[in-house]
Chains A and B, each alone.
Chain A
Amino acid sequence: MRNEDALATLMRQALEGDKAAYRDFLARAAVDIRAMARRRLPASAQADLEDVVQETLLAIHAKRHTWRPDRPIGPWLAAIARYKAIDAIRRRGARPAEDIADYEHLIAAPEVETVSAHDVQTVLDALPPGQRSVVSAITLEGRSIRETATGFGMSEVAVRVALHRGLAAIRSRMGRTT
């Protein structure tokens, strides 16, 4: 297998301390490991796939001194992947997970609440100018209380109060109109 030769070469370089080769090795190995774990994990455990991949990579890292450079690397990788997958399945067995698909009918469809940009602008415009600038700086532009305070030359407490009042006003207005 050509891929296996490439992996072995990279791992040989990695064991000499070549970080770039090691990163390349781990990235390629992760692809193989993911494929192996996907086949091995039962359908109900597929959600943990990436966890198993990461546990396997950690194990490969911790046990990298146990690969013999004169041996093929495929069986070594596969043995560790198998060991960690079985380990993961066994641990899941101790706390069995339910497949959420069985309970689909019990779970309400998520309610998506959206407000149009126009509505946002309307309620903001209804606020007193001080509250309006504070609320839009924090909620729409994502600035922090401190940044907003320095930006507007206000104390942080004053920003908090304006934000609180502005949001309360918006809540009551939105509550009335919808």
Chain B
Amino acid sequence: MNTDDLIASLADDAAPALPRPARLLGLALVAAVAATAVVFALLLGSVRAEVTNLNGDARLALKFAVTLALVGSAFVLLATLAHPERPRPRAFAILGVPLALLLGGVLLEVAALPAAEIGPALVGSNSLACLVYVPLLGALPLAVLLTALRRAAPTRPALAGLAAGLLAGGIAATAYGTYCPDDSPLFVATWYGLSVGLLALAGAAAGQRILRW
């Protein structure tokens, strides 16, 4: 087929069949949150009583500030990477928001706690559950987000997959945070950090394979 014929045949359907990437990803985010809520209800069932009243508990409030900041910043980064244009380095800086919140919390916690309590705060009451449940809760949202990304145009598949993993991790961490009894920033940085990292790596590996076009 020569190029002119190709152009003539493509020109016949000019109007796009798909919504813009930002809209696609917005819908995917809603679906991902809904999927996480269902998995949470089936897997864990109930939220902690304190979650409905964050006023008295700075550590609990900070935990959600970090996970929700991760959701917001990862979404913005993902929306950028869903377009073919080369992302500006500044696009990645937005991940500094949840990182700065977390780091600030860790520093305050280390300053506030007596040396003897730092170790137990870091280990928490159930670190293994965190490592299991956050990836479990994040798997379905990650799949939803990657499916939406296939309809966008990421030219850096691994990075886009990584951002999707971070976003799925943020959603899963927020959900698990309502159940998990450990609120110390030391615990959050270590175990939530590891769990979200696992999802990010899974996202990058999957993106490398399935996001090519």
Contacts and interface: CB of A to CB of B under 8 A. Distances in A.
A54 B6 contact: yes
A121 B75 CA distance: 78
Say which size band chain A's interface belongs to. Answer: 20 to 34
B42 interface: no
A63 interface: yes
B11 A76 contact: no
Nearest to A86: B155
A83 to B, nearest CB: 4
Interface in B38-95: 82-86
Nearest to A57: B6
Interface residues of B, number: 28
Interface string A46-76: 0000100110011101111110100100011
Interface stretch (B12-20, B118-126, B139-147, B161-169): B12-20
A88 interface: no
B10 interface: yes
Interface string B8-32: 1011101111111100000000000
Contacts of A16: 14-15
B16 A64 contact: yes
Interface stretch (A18-26, A99-107, A137-145): A18-26
A68 B83 contact: yes
A30 B8 CA distance: 12
Nearest to A69: B20
Contact of A79 (B2, B7, B155, B212): B155
Contacts of B84: 63, 66, 76, 79-80, 83
B122 to A, nearest CB: 44
B1 interface: yes
Nearest to B1: A54
Contacts of B16: 15, 64-65
A31 to B, nearest CB: 10
B182 to A, nearest CB: 41
A61 B10 CA distance: 7
B153 A63 contact: yes
A26 B7 contact: yes
Interface in A1-18: 14-18
A158 interface: no
9 contacts: A14-B15, A16-B14, A19-B11, A20-B11, A26-B10, A65-B16, A65-B21, A79-B155, A80-B155
For the complex of A and B, the 5 pairs showing the least CB-CB separation, nearest first, are A23-B11, A22-B14, A65-B16, A79-B84, A17-B15
Interface of A: 14-23, 26-27, 30, 50, 53-54, 57-59, 61-66, 68, 71, 75-76, 79-80, 82-83, 87
